A and B are shown apart, each in its own frame.
Chain A
């Protein structure tokens, strides 16, 4: 179970390659899907190495993971309230936000709150069914990593990170709205 709702929805994939900070990079993280069996996992039994945990698992384990903090990330499903990570975000190396469908835009708000309210400065990774044409919006909301699942080569996506050279709003990438810069 996720913290908020059943785990029956689509699960994010964890492709071998992704875009990080505008370049194609090797994916160094495992991603643990939501699963009813996750309740069995303990801090001691969690396999070594970098791993991104579903929110419920992270909530259950993160206080017991001691010196492994640098290799434990968390992923939020689109209906996971970001407050459940809250200020703890500032200590995390990686947070992934799941887009179960192209049209599910909750993750955009999640990302902005992580960056702008909870002081998260680590890798913010979009996972799931987002599409190329959303990359500028995702980047503006604070994502710097994109685990794209679609059919297009990652090289083709790079240009879409900057579809717009200017923007009206303040967001994670722009401190001032345009009306304050006129």
Chain B
């Protein structure tokens, strides 16, 4: 992974001092609430319903065990002993004291971490594939580009006060596990005639106005990545709407102008800067890639390893289920990636205690070269586990509550913190997640349903990604009461789709039954081996509507 040198340390150290000064000026009354707001937001500090919330950046989700242990300590010393993984692969603390935040930042800086630009109208944490570097369908490891983008965007002097927040995702594989097309900029690595480059998509997003990003450049040579991003963000900074925060995202600009015209303007701007100093030199690229070279894999006999694993699976049904759902093929023979589930029933999806964070650190040290990745679906990946150690990892994961074999199933939900924490929420989301997990707790039933995404957002800001779920649940306010709208048919994959609203909303108590009726219809009408999304695409919304609302 990327490691700081003296210059990175200087920048992050300067930031701690700067934010400490800003906090002191605020507490002394020299900065008003209004003046402090953009400053604290650019540092990930929100004022929530009950307490501040601090969002800590985890660049493209990558953490080492030292960082995990420090996060555990911080959550214990400054919070209530737990933290929350977010869909931007970051980590949130729900109960820090505002006056402690400078000290927390100083502790983070010691382990090469920060909270820079995790909120505010600036370029946010760049996200990517949690299986980067190990996936079999990978074209090129996206992490060096993510790191170059991280550095380019960190304290970018021109782009700290954009019309609205700005999110970039980079995907390096054929499959899209980074929800790339629902980002302000989606960067897809491609290879053409032996040359590496990028497809560039702009104007995707969720929120009130969900949009699938449009392609504005089909092949951008690798060396031009940063200059092209700079051209896009400059055009957005100049022309994005600033009169209405709900129309300020780049997607509105791209829609209003048309993708072709937006692309034309970007190209015109880019022509003037493409050969400038942002051009990635061979040395610069080599340097960035040097941080993500393959770890020292052991040479395993793949076939023998697979056979031994199969024998273990045959002997133990519970292990077999976990292996099936919670592990992922690896490009190196004898290895698999393991997804630790943070979604056991009764725990807010994405939450982890201080002890669990330390357990992840131990697992990483013992089995996966000391590293772990936060995923956009709020789980944690150990990317490089030898297959001969999977049984041990499973047992350790079980002991720490991470081995619920539900990855990719209905109960592996993305869920925002909702009305329990967030002051923007219209409705609670965590109790809805729990009610659904309790209702659908039969693993055989979940496996029979197969791959299925169910995402929950507590308001139309869509932090819970309900627009791109196969079953999306949106909390709405109906005359002061919490109601839930159901949407069907979304996907954030390489074939992205936005979900369609099923019909009038339901009370919280009704939601599990409604989900049950939707699933029953799917089970009745599906063809052999047809997944939920494929059935939905084949039969459309109407049959589900009739089943749920009765004709």
Q: Residues on A close to B: CB < 8 A?
A: 81, 102-106, 108-109, 112, 117, 131, 133-134, 136-138, 140-141, 152, 163-171, 175-180, 182
Interface residues of A, dominant DSSP: loop
B153-194 interface bits toward A, Cβ cutoff 8 Å, 1 = contact, 0 = none: 011111111100000000000000000000000000000000
| A167 touching B11, Cβ below 8 Å | yes
Question: Known: A164-B11, A166-B11, A168-B154. Is A105-B287 also a contact (CB below 8 A)?
Answer: no
Query: Nearest Cβ in chain A — how far from B99, in angstroms?
Result: 18
Question: Known: A164-B11, A170-B277, A176-B277. Is A108-B159 also a contact (CB below 8 A)?
Answer: yes
A163-B17 Cα distance, complex, nearest whole Å: 8
**Interfacial residues of chain B within 44-82, with CB under 8 A of chain A in the complex:** none
Does B18 lie at the interface of the complex (its beta carbon under 8 Å from any beta carbon of A)? yes
Query: What residues of A have a CB within 8 angstroms of the CB of B38 in the complex?
Result: 102-103
| A105 touching B160, Cβ below 8 Å | yes
| B11 touching A168, Cβ below 8 Å | yes
Does B280 lie at the interface of the complex (its beta carbon under 8 Å from any beta carbon of A)? yes
| A182 touching B158, Cβ below 8 Å | no
Does B539 lie at the interface of the complex (its beta carbon under 8 Å from any beta carbon of A)? no
Does B10 lie at the interface of the complex (its beta carbon under 8 Å from any beta carbon of A)? yes
A175-B276 Cα distance, complex, nearest whole Å: 10
| A109 touching B155, Cβ below 8 Å | no
The answer, among A136, A152, A169, for a CB contact under 8 Å with B30, is A152
Query: Nearest Cβ in chain B — how far from A154, in angstroms?
Result: 15
**Interfacial residues of chain B within 101-151, with CB under 8 A of chain A in the complex:** 121, 148, 151
Query: What residues of B have a CB within 8 angstroms of the CB of A117 in the complex?
Result: 272
The answer, among B162, B234, B281, for a CB contact under 8 Å with A180, is B281
Query: Nearest Cβ in chain A — how far from B19, in angstroms?
Result: 10
A134-B161 Cα distance, complex, nearest whole Å: 10
| B157 touching A108, Cβ below 8 Å | yes
A-B contact pairs, 26 of them (CB 8 A): A81-B238, A103-B38, A103-B121, A103-B242, A104-B242, A105-B121, A105-B158, A105-B161, A106-B242, A108-B158, A108-B159, A108-B160, A117-B272, A133-B18, A134-B161, A136-B157, A163-B14, A164-B155, A166-B10, A169-B156, A171-B157, A177-B151, A179-B284, A179-B287, A180-B277, A182-B7
A138-B158 Cα distance, complex, nearest whole Å: 8
Query: What residues of A have a CB within 8 angstroms of the CB of B11 in the complex?
Result: 164-168
Query: What residues of A have a CB within 8 angstroms of the CB of B5 in the complex?
Result: 182
The answer, among A102, A136, A165, A179, for a CB contact under 8 Å with B280, is A179
Q: Which residue of A lies closest to B158 (CB)?
A: A108
**Interfacial residues of chain B within 465-500, with CB under 8 A of chain A in the complex:** none
Query: What residues of A have a CB within 8 angstroms of the CB of B281 in the complex?
Result: 179-180
A112-B161 Cα distance, complex, nearest whole Å: 14
B247-289 interface bits toward A, Cβ cutoff 8 Å, 1 = contact, 0 = none: 0000000000000000000000000100011101101100110
* Interface size classification for chain B: 35 or more
| A179 touching B148, Cβ below 8 Å | yes
| Of listed B5, B30, B242, B272, residue having the most chain A CB within 10 A | B242
A105-B166 Cα distance, complex, nearest whole Å: 14
A163-B280 Cα distance, complex, nearest whole Å: 27
A167-B156 Cα distance, complex, nearest whole Å: 8
| A178 touching B7, Cβ below 8 Å | yes
Query: What residues of A have a CB within 8 angstroms of the CB of B7 in the complex?
Result: 166, 178, 182
Q: Which 6 A-B pairs have the closest CB atoms?
A: A105-B161, A140-B157, A137-B157, A168-B151, A179-B284, A108-B158
Q: Residues on B close to A: CB < 8 A?
A: 5, 7, 10-11, 14-15, 17-18, 22, 30, 35, 38-39, 121, 148, 151-152, 154-162, 226, 234, 237-238, 242, 272, 276-278, 280-281, 283-284, 287-288
| Of listed A131, A136, A138, A178, residue having the most chain B CB within 10 A | A178
Query: What residues of B have a CB within 8 angstroms of the CB of A108 in the complex?
Result: 157-161, 237
Q: Which residue of A lies closest to B5 (CB)?
A: A182
Query: What residues of B have a CB within 8 angstroms of the CB of A169 in the complex?
Result: 152, 155-157
Query: What residues of A have a CB within 8 angstroms of the CB of B288 in the complex?
Result: 179
The answer, among B15, B17, B152, for a CB contact under 8 Å with A177, is B152
Query: What residues of B have a CB within 8 angstroms of the CB of A163 in the complex?
Result: 14, 17-18
A164-B16 Cα distance, complex, nearest whole Å: 10
The answer, among A102, A106, A164, A171, for a CB contact under 8 Å with B237, is A106
| A175 touching B157, Cβ below 8 Å | no
| B237 touching A109, Cβ below 8 Å | yes
| B161 touching A104, Cβ below 8 Å | yes
A164-B21 Cα distance, complex, nearest whole Å: 13
Query: What residues of B have a CB within 8 angstroms of the CB of A103 in the complex?
Result: 38, 121, 161, 242
Query: What residues of B have a CB within 8 angstroms of the CB of A104 in the complex?
Result: 161, 242
Query: Nearest Cβ in chain B — how far from A100, in angstroms?
Result: 9
Known: A105-B158, A117-B272, A166-B11. 6 other contacts (CB 8 A): A133-B18, A137-B155, A137-B157, A137-B158, A179-B151, A180-B281
Question: Known: A177-B152, A177-B278, A179-B151. Is A141-B242 also a contact (CB below 8 A)?
Answer: no
The answer, among A106, A131, A168, for a CB contact under 8 Å with B155, is A168
| Of listed A102, A106, A169, residue having the most chain B CB within 10 A | A169
Q: Which residue of A lies closest to B276 (CB)?
A: A170
| B151 touching A165, Cβ below 8 Å | no
Q: Which residue of B lies closest to A136 (CB)?
A: B157
A109-B155 Cα distance, complex, nearest whole Å: 14
Q: Which residue of A lies closest to B11 (CB)?
A: A166
The answer, among A109, A133, A141, for a CB contact under 8 Å with B22, is A133
Q: Which residue of B lies closest to A163 (CB)?
A: B18
Q: Which residue of B lies closest to A107 (CB)?
A: B161
Query: Nearest Cβ in chain A — how far from B162, in angstroms?
Result: 6
| B159 touching A105, Cβ below 8 Å | yes
Query: What residues of A have a CB within 8 angstroms of the CB of B158 in the complex?
Result: 105, 108-109, 112, 137, 141, 171
A117-B230 Cα distance, complex, nearest whole Å: 14
Q: Which residue of A lies closest to B234 (CB)?
A: A109
| A165 touching B10, Cβ below 8 Å | yes
Query: What residues of A have a CB within 8 angstroms of the CB of B35 in the complex?
Result: 102, 131
A19-B277 Cα distance, complex, nearest whole Å: 30
Query: Nearest Cβ in chain A — how far from B44, in angstroms?
Result: 16
Query: What residues of A have a CB within 8 angstroms of the CB of B234 in the complex?
Result: 109
